[in-house]
A and B are shown apart, each in its own frame.
Chain A
């Protein structure tokens, strides 16, 4: 069973083929990492999968259903949820309000045009904040949160959409080692029915979390395999490091 399947996905910007015929299959419950040097097309591929950007060719299937023609909103309703590389939140809201905003949309209730008490939504928001370690910070306005906390809030916001497929774009970028360790713990503890596809530059984090890895290079899939296969691959090293060998990056 695949949670996500991309076939021949392509997108170019002028002459640059940012994503060039990418095939990708992510099994249900997988922790799948997407790595590659800068400019490999990871972020563009993410946008094609989430629907933020339209593919020029190819198809995206979510749990066996073709979603290529669906909007980002529709894909989110079908269980696809994402965090942004650069925390992208709501400047006038507190942490709890942010999560409640997403929870309100995904807890079944209608978005009412009249004031409503929604205890279920606020309970769910509280649970999610506790899950990502922000329980103490629930009433803090988003602009007052630290960078690491905003990234944690991003994860809570994405989880509030009750995803079956969670897309994380560099979840640990800019985090302190302690925050990053916390994030690994959180992601490792996610229920198995949530499939996770993530882009990450921190290879320690990738190898500690991922059970499968896809390496992108210049818009194409260089290699898809287990973390060990990727570690051992000569081609991957060259893509990352050029001819000069800096093995410590992978072996340290």
Chain B
């Protein structure tokens, strides 16, 4: 546990304390959002779709970062809630309605409920036990998705998910889907960001730093960890519903261990505790896996492994730590 937490502390402090400089951050945020929004106007549909996939995965990674980086709970089973949200949104789109907020709400709700049902056992453990319990829950959910094929499509995956509709009009164009995903991503990111900066978020960082001391000053830490676990599950479910909207296909790997591990990789590469760092990490993971992977003869994962080793050695605080160090030395 210490090994996972150790790099989290400085990165976390940089991202979410009230001391961070405001002016530049605001400007950079606006520029990034404008660029992201303008992408479908300039890039080819394939590149746009890759970027959309990055956004989906980034929201998932951000929700995990709230657990790993902010609260100090390294989860290996977070894909369970991402996948649950994706299946729920896909199922609702097929069987009920694909009208805009419904699949989103279904995904978020199912993600949160799944986290609520499984979270109480996990948050009362710590360190390696937490890691193993979340891994076990992730694998159980994976098995459940495999077996319950009347709902999930089993090994074939959930196929035939219709396009999301907004006010009755289906979003078939890759650009429109991108804007839809971007809007929901911004909403989800803002929610997580607000929580991380709230008094509740400060308490979560206190739990990460020193949980026994938090109890001694009167914080019911298990309850707080449970609350953030459920919230992170809900955001992961929201990201899952975006996956259903973007890929229009949900399959077993989306709820499996590899997806959870990739998300954890994205958080560590980006710098645990830094929400925008998690987005950078997610971008790298998706680029290597989906864009570069095919040209490497399917060895994208190998490259990711190498990148991970390099990051751990060269940037122990992740990508988000780079800026910090430069400022520290100048």
Contact = CB atoms under 8 A, between A and B. Distances in A.
Contacts of A67: none
Nearest to A103: B217
B286 to A, nearest CB: 29
Contacts of B198: 112-116
Q: Is the interface of B mostly helix, strand, loop or mixed?
A: helix
Interface string A15-53: 000000000000000000000000000000000001010
A65 interface: no
Given A101-B202, A111-B199, A113-B198, A81 B9 contact: no
Nearest to B8: A92
B206 A76 contact: no
Nearest to B14: A92
Contacts of A102: 217-218
Given A73-B218, A88-B212, A114 B202 contact: no
B194 interface: yes
Interface in B180-234: 194-195, 197-203, 205-206, 208-210, 212-213, 215-221, 227, 231
B157 interface: no
A93 B205 contact: yes
B321 interface: no
Interface in B17-46: 17, 19
B218 A105 contact: yes
B11 to A, nearest CB: 9
A contact residues, range:
35 or more
A50 B202 CA distance: 24
B contact residues, range:
20 to 34
A191 interface: no
Contact of A82 (B216, B221, B227): B216
Given A104-B199, A112-B200, A114-B195, A90 B218 contact: no
Contacts of A97: 17, 202
Contacts, number: 97
A5 interface: no
Nearest to B219: A105
A115 B198 CA distance: 4
A53 to B, nearest CB: 11
B10 interface: yes
A158 B198 CA distance: 22
A73 B210 CA distance: 15
Nearest to B231: A113
Interface string B104-125: 0000000000000000000000
Contacts of A71: 215
Contacts of B201: 113
Contacts of A76: 215-218
Contact of A113 (B12, B195, B212): B195
Given A82-B216, A157-B217, A92 B209 contact: yes
Nearest to B224: A111
Nearest to B193: A115
B123 to A, nearest CB: 15
Contacts of B17: 92, 97
Contacts of A158: 217
A43 B235 CA distance: 43
A111 B210 contact: no
A105 B195 contact: no
B203 A101 contact: yes
B102 interface: no
Contacts of A118: 199
A101 B205 CA distance: 10
B13 interface: yes
Contacts of B231: 113
B217 A90 contact: no
A158 to B, nearest CB: 8
B105 to A, nearest CB: 19
Given A92-B12, A92-B209, A50 B216 contact: yes
Interface string A95-112: 001001110111000011
Closest 9 CB pairs of A and B: A76-B218, A90-B209, A113-B200, A102-B217, A92-B13, A92-B9, A115-B197, A88-B213, A73-B220
23 contacts: A71-B215, A76-B217, A77-B218, A84-B213, A88-B210, A88-B213, A90-B206, A91-B209, A91-B210, A92-B12, A93-B13, A100-B202, A111-B219, A112-B198, A112-B200, A113-B200, A113-B201, A113-B227, A114-B198, A115-B194, A116-B199, A139-B19, A161-B218
Given A88-B210, A102-B218, A106-B218, 20 more contacts: A72-B215, A73-B215, A73-B219, A76-B215, A88-B213, A89-B210, A90-B205, A92-B209, A94-B19, A97-B202, A101-B206, A101-B217, A104-B202, A104-B203, A111-B219, A113-B198, A113-B231, A116-B199, A157-B217, A158-B217
